[in-house]
Copies of this chain bind each other. A is one copy, B any other.
Amino acid sequence: MKYYRSFEAGQTVIWSGDKMDFVASVVSGVATLTKTMEDGRRQMVGLLLPSDFVGRPGRAHAAYDVTALTDLVMCCFRKAPFEEMMNTTPHVSQRLLEMTLDELDAAREWMQLLGRKTAREKIASLLAIIARRDASLGLRPAKGKVAFDLALTREQMSDYLGLTLETVSRQMSALKRDGTIVLASKRRIEIPHFDALLAETGDDNDGGVLT
């Protein structure tokens, strides 16, 4: 009923439309959900970090392409027994509901990014999101210079942001030129002043803590 599967960076976990008789959660590594149009246009619609859930109870086929961004380990449950467990253990569906609501909130913030932000704001937002998600997984010293390795290529960033990879590259160069970010290497990002990055996201960054 429960088993582990490993994937190498770049491997496809499952294609949209494929039969999917399991649900899973990410144990380690990073994976993406993407939608692809007939002519090849691609939009990433989910970024899965450890503890994130994949698959939908009550659906037999995958709705998205799932791809391993880094080496990846997933913990899979056969769907039938999992659904049985949902019926017998009410706590499970409550927990799943909470996680799904979190994802829905994230999706809506993402929609705002896609629909209304400029290319520069999109890049800044993505970097802030990744920095924060890494931090919440406890990979980050609480204080001090923020720095992290980017698991995404420029092209994958463009799929996330609804841009072309050239525009991503240009805006990364612009943020670097302005000193908002420092590129130790192409994929190693340092952020000298996190507030300065946040100021570039276009988000409301003082009303954040409602009382």
A204 / chain B contacts, CB cutoff of 8 Å: 37-38
Stretch at the interface among A88-96, A126-134, A139-147, A148-156: A88-96
Find out whether the CB atom of B93 lies under 8 angstroms from the CB atom of A97.
Answer: yes
Q: Which residue of B46, B101, B111, B207 contacts A114 across the interface (Cβ within 8 Å)?
A: B111
A205 CB, nearest partner CB in chain B, Å: 9
- Cα distance A38–B201 when bound, in Å? 12
A64 / chain B contacts, CB cutoff of 8 Å: 108
A10 lies within 8 A of chain B by Cβ:
no
- Cα distance A42–B202 when bound, in Å? 12
Given contacts A35-B108, A98-B58, A116 and B42 within 8 Å (CB-CB): yes
Find out whether the CB atom of A104 lies under 8 angstroms from the CB atom of B103.
Answer: yes
What 6 A-B pairs come out closest when comparing CB atoms?
A115-B162, A90-B90, A114-B114, A45-B108, A107-B107, A43-B112
Interface residues of chain A, those whose CB is within 8 Å of chain B, are 17, 33, 35, 37-39, 41-43, 45-46, 56-58, 61, 63-64, 86-87, 90, 93-94, 96-98, 100-101, 103-105, 107-112, 114-116, 161-162, 202-204, 207, 210
Contacts beyond the supplied A17-B207, A93-B97, A103-B104: 18 A-B pairs with Cβ under 8 Å = A33-B108, A35-B109, A35-B112, A41-B116, A41-B202, A43-B112, A43-B116, A58-B98, A63-B105, A87-B94, A90-B93, A97-B97, A100-B100, A100-B104, A104-B104, A110-B111, A114-B114, A114-B162
